[in-house]
Structure 1
Amino acid sequence: MARRAIAAACAAALLSGGVTACAGAGPDTALPGAAGCGMLPPRRPAAPPGGRGAARDNPVYRGGPMCLPDCDFGPGPDGGLSGATRYLGHVAHCLDVGWGRLFAAVGLRYRPPKVRIVPIRDRGRLGCGAGMVQAAGLYCPGSDEVIVSVGRDWYGPGYEPSMVLLLAHEYGHHVQRSLHIAQYAYTAGGEVERRAELQAECFGGVFLAAVRARFDQTDEWWAGFVDTESQPGDIAERHSHGDFASRRRWLGAGLRSGRPGDCRTWTAPSSEVAG
C-alpha cells in the first residue's frame, strides 16, 4: 500500500474511535532508501542489547540523522477534534517511517505502537491498566499504546509543533521499549527514570529536526519554542522530567542534530539531567 494511502487509513481508523497501529510495520517502515537520505542499506534484523548496555551503547545511537523528505502531514487542523485527530494520524505515520528507517539501517526491527487520540475531557480517564493519570500524553508499555489528549486550543492552526512534539515524545518511550532501554530505566527510578524522560524529549527533538522545514519558522522562533516547551510544571514533574535547563538542553540537542546518538542522557553528568 502506498505511504499516502497508509496514512489516510491510519487517520480514518483514529477518527472512528478505534485503536490502531498507524503505518503498520513492513517494507514501507523499513525502507531506508528515500531520495536525498543517503542512508545505508538495512542490515539483517537483530535484537538490541539488554540491561545497562541498552541505555548506554545502543546500536541506534550509531544511526541518523532521521531523514523524512517524503513525509506528508496532510492538511493542518481545521478547528475541530476530527481535524486534529486526522493531522496527528499523519504525524504518527511519519514517526513510524522515520524510526523504521533508523532501526533498519543499524540492523534492528521496528514495530509501530498503537495510537489513540482522545479529547481533553477524557484526560482523567486515561491510564495503563488500573492506574488513571492526568496527562496530555501517555505511553502504556503493557499494551504498547501511545495516547494523546487534545484540547480545543489545538483544534486550529498554530499549535502544530506542540502537538507534534507531544506525540513524538510519547513515541520516544515506545522507541525506548523497543530498544530495551525502558526495561532497564523504569526498574531503577529516581535519576535513572529522569534520564529516560529527558531522552524521550530528545527523541522528540530528533523527529522535529527531520520535519521542521514543514513549519516554515526561523531559527529564532525555534529557540523560543524550545524555551516554552521546556518550562517545568510542579515539583513532581520537575523531579520526573527534569528542570528547565535539563529539558532545554536535551530537546535542543535532538532538534539541532536530528541524531539519536546525541540523546545519550545515560552518560551525561548528573548536572545535565537535574530535577
Structure 2
Amino acid sequence: MSDPLGWGAGGSRRPGVVRRALPTAVAFLVVLCGLAYLRGDLQELIGTAPGSPRSAAATHPLYRGTGLIDARCDTLPDNSEADVRRTLNALSRCLDRMWATTLKEAGVGYEPPGEVRLVADPGEAACGIDDYDWAGIYCPDRRVVNVLVEEDRSFPMMFTLAHEYAHHVQEIGGMAGERGSEVFDEAWSRRLELQADCLAAVTLRTVEPRVLENQRLLAEGESDAVDDQAEGYRRSHGSGTSSAAWITRGESGGTMAACNTWSAPPDEVS
C-alpha cells in the first residue's frame, strides 16, 4: 500500500519544484536588492557614474578628436537687429559650417538639422508637445531646431539657436545617448543642457561676444527667481550660476573638450 504522503519504505520525501527553486530565487533577489542599494558605489568603483572621468560620456571620442572650433560668421548682416530672421538664417548656415568642419576632424559625418523653424508662436514647433513655455526646442526624433522669434531682439535668439544646434550635435555625435540611470534623469538633463550652453558659447565667442555677455547677465538674474517654475527649470537645466560659468568656459576654451560637463563634479552642474 502506498503512502498517501509520498513516503516509501526506507525512502525520503522528494521536495516539490517550488521548494527546490525557492532558495535560489531568494538568493537572486538578495543579490538584486544589494546591487540596487549599492548601485552608486559600484558605479563610482568601476568609473561609470556621472561625473566620473572614466565614464563613457566623459571620455567621448569627440573631446579627444576635435580641436579649436573656427567660430566665424562673415555673412551676418551689419545690423543684426534690423532683420532678425535674416540674422538667424545667416547664423544657421555658419553653424552648419562650423560643426561640419569640427566633427570631420573626429571622423564623424555631420548632417544639418532636418529643418530650422523660426516660429512666431510655440504651437508652430515641430515636436508636437503641449508645453509651450520655451524660447527654443530641439526635436531629436525629427532632428528639427525650433526657435521662437521676437522681432528686434536678436541677441537672445542667436544664443537660443546656437544652443539648439548644440543639442543637434549632441544627438548626431552620440553624447545625447549617454544617459543617467533614467531616460529623464534630472542630473543627466542638467549635464546635457549646461553642455549645450557651453557649446553655444564656443560657436558664438568670436561671432558676437556681446551675445554671450547678455546671456550671462540673463542667466545670473534667473538664479534669484524663487517660484516653482524657476525651480523646475533649475532641476532640469541647471542654475543660472552654473549656466553662466559654463558659458564662460566655452568662450574661453573654444573647444568641445572645454564643455565636458559629464566629467564635472555635481556642484558644477547643479
- TM-score for the superposition, normalised by structure 1: 0.68
Report the AA paired with residue 74 of structure 1: P
Match of 2:111 in 1: 111
The 1:191/1:69 distance shift into structure 2, 3 A limit, reads closer
**What is the deviation of 1:172?**
0.9
Q: Deviations over 1:198-231 (max 9, x none)?
A: 000001111111413xx6x5xxx96565232443
**What is the deviation of 1:77?**
4.4
2:198 equivalent to 1:187: no
The answer (yes or no) to whether the contact 1:116–1:145 under 8 Å persists in 2 is yes
Single out whichever of 232-241 and 109-118 deviates more from structure 2. Answer: 232-241
Single out whichever of 70-79 and 240-249 deviates more from structure 2. Answer: 70-79
Moved over 6 A (4+): none
Match of 2:169 in 1: 175
The 1:190/1:229 distance shift into structure 2, 3 A limit, reads closer
- Pick the aligned partner of 2:235 from 239, 252, 268: 239
> Which structure has the larger Rg over C-alpha atoms?
2
- Counterpart-to-counterpart distance in 2, 1:76 and 1:171: 23
2:218 equivalent to 1:228: yes
The answer (yes or no) to whether the contact 1:126–1:134 under 8 Å persists in 2 is no
- Counterpart-to-counterpart distance in 2, 1:261 and 1:95: 18
- Pick the aligned partner of 1:163 from 157, 170, 185: 157
The answer (yes or no) to whether the contact 1:66–1:210 under 8 Å persists in 2 is no
- Pick the aligned partner of 2:59 from 50, 57, 60: 57
Which residues in structure 2 correspond to 1:1-275 (within 5 Å)?
53=56, 55-62=57-64, 63-69=66-72, 71-77=74-80, 79=82, 83-113=83-113, 114-119=115-120, 122-126=121-125, 128-151=127-150, 155-156=151-152, 159-185=153-179, 187-212=183-208, 223=213, 225-232=215-222, 234-274=230-270
Q: Secondary structure at the match of 2:68?
A: coil
Q: Secondary structure at the match of 1:231?
A: helix
The 1:132/1:237 distance shift into structure 2, 3 A limit, reads closer
Q: Deviations over 1:145-177 (max 9, x none)?
A: 0000112xxx23xx4332211100011110110
Consecutive unaligned residues in structure 1, runs of 5 or more: 1-51
The 1:227/1:78 distance shift into structure 2, 3 A limit, reads closer
Single out whichever of 182-191 and 261-270 deviates more from structure 2. Answer: 182-191
Report the AA paired with residue 100 of structure 1: A
**What is the deviation of 1:58?**
2.1
Q: Secondary structure at the match of 2:146?
A: strand
Single out whichever of 233-242 and 107-116 deviates more from structure 2. Answer: 233-242
Consecutive unaligned residues in structure 2, runs of 5 or more: 1-54
Q: Secondary structure at the match of 1:89?
A: helix
- Counterpart-to-counterpart distance in 2, 1:231 and 1:112: 33
- Counterpart-to-counterpart distance in 1, 2:96 and 2:126: 23
**What is the deviation of 1:187?**
1.8
The answer (yes or no) to whether the contact 2:67–2:102 under 8 Å persists in 1 is yes
Q: How many residues were matched structurally? A: 206
**What is the deviation of 1:106?**
1.6
Q: Deviations over 1:92-146 (max 9, x none)?
A: 0010101111001121111010200011xx1245351354432110000111000
The answer (yes or no) to whether the contact 1:125–1:133 under 8 Å persists in 2 is no
Q: Secondary structure at the match of 1:171?
A: helix
